A and B are shown apart, each in its own frame.
Chain A
């Protein structure tokens, strides 16, 4: 097995295969890595209910097997969880998780040689609070009655405890202000080829739809993970058919184009009054610091340049704290949406931070988290 190869596979464990997002291959691969001591720990989401789950670092194979399934309303982020712990670890990772992990790797907070990144294709995730509201307003169902959820053919489908299915197209939901988080709409990493192995349901055809995962090996580590899982008897794979490969490529392209369209729609140039715009958006900031704490590309400690100014004394015409961060994140922001998600006063932070990051990253031709290219800020000379 080597880089560039593609397979379609599934878990050999019936229970995992049934519960998995699409065949349970990811869960089984993680469990096999743990059991065969390829890694000492695995990160998975421990489900509380459809809308809540906590990421855990575990060395218990059963706990890993129990984590099978995709949670679309849990926009967690794993980079900071494993940073500065010196772990030999394997973990599932959406595109934005992968990017955060790579950026932490560049900052020497994560040893990438010891980190096995199982990438998940990602069409987007939703904010749990928005999802609950959406269920009541759009679906007219009580969040407590939801039993399961899935995305199929552009529709978001909720299954209620009475066995009924409720489907609405994602386009319609987003038109009404629900659906995926804003950052996911313009996210352009749909197949995480920056991970060790990219997994998803796009490209699975025929009888296997919903029961198997399409994987693409991106690195030696990825090949090792999959081979290990096969040798351990946890997963089975076969070659994908040409139709599946073509389909996957096509969907990826369509999703990326859609992302670009959203980007244009959200980041309409503000010709005049930009300062007023930023002032207004930031005026309710309560200086809690949560946006910095969660930011997966920041590796500064509790005391850092921005936090020096983070107090009620930061009463200038523009917040010094945010000015410092606008600058520091201009090349580093991966647009993961974590800052917006945690802000207690609902400031659309990712939108603000991307206003600065978009032009800088375009000018410097630098996409953080996609490869090991050094941040331009640390280059001695600009390659213009």
Chain B
């Protein structure tokens, strides 16, 4: 490959933006995403946010669906343990996540592609940093092996 072609392919790799699906709880991490924007914390445009009323609503099925439709990473986020607005929705999230994590791992999907984080509405910077870190990790890994043919 000529030096020029190498350079273009390098920029192309760098230019590739992963698609990250972030499930956010209405009462915390969704607010966190909002705060991130308002606080003007720099973050890549890789995240697609799906708002749910509580992290406990996130069915493992939603996560599988996101992967199968082409997500390069899926983030499960919710209120800090003890702060769930529906008493213990996030405790249930924790249990479901344990199963999910195992299934995704056994399936041979890199662990960076599925992550759990508790982020409150005031933690805008934490949200922005999280998206930035995950984006960098996924850029290194490249597109998800579960992505359907023809989906960018």
> Could you tell me which A residues sit within 8 Å of B by CB distance?
270, 272-278, 305, 316-318, 320, 323-324, 326-327, 330-331, 355-356, 359-360, 363-364, 376-377, 379-382
Complex CA gap A360/B100 in Å reads 10
Interface residues on B, range: 20 to 34
Closest to A271 in B: B108
Contact B100 A327 (CB under 8 A): yes
Contact A305 B61 (CB under 8 A): yes
> Could you tell me which B residues sit within 8 Å of A by CB distance?
60-61, 64-65, 68, 88, 91-92, 94-96, 98-100, 102-103, 106-109, 145-148
Measured CB to CB, the closest approach of chain B to A335, in angstroms, equals 16
* Contact A360 B107, CB 8 Å, known A320-B65, A379-B95: no
* Residue of A276, A277, A327, A356 with highest tally of chain B CB at under 10 A: A327
A-B CB proximity, top 3 nearest: A274-B108, A316-B68, A275-B108
Knowing that A275-B145, A326-B103, A363-B98 touch, tell me 12 more A-B residue pairs with CB under 8 angstroms: A274-B106, A274-B107, A275-B109, A278-B107, A320-B61, A323-B103, A330-B102, A356-B102, A356-B106, A377-B96, A379-B95, A381-B88
**How many Cβ-Cβ contacts under 8 Å join chain A to chain B?**
77
Complex CA gap A274/B61 in Å reads 20
CB-contact partner of B103 in A305, A327, A381, under 8 A:
A327
Chain B interface, >50% SS class: helix
In the bound complex, residues from chain B placing their C-beta under 8 Å from that of A356 are 102-103, 106
Measured CB to CB, the closest approach of chain A to B66, in angstroms, equals 11
Contact B94 A382 (CB under 8 A): yes
Chain A interface, >50% SS class: helix
In the bound complex, residues from chain A placing their C-beta under 8 Å from that of B91 are 380-382
Closest to A331 in B: B99
Contact A275 B100 (CB under 8 A): no
Complex CA gap A273/B108 in Å reads 7
In the bound complex, residues from chain A placing their C-beta under 8 Å from that of B98 are 360, 363-364, 382
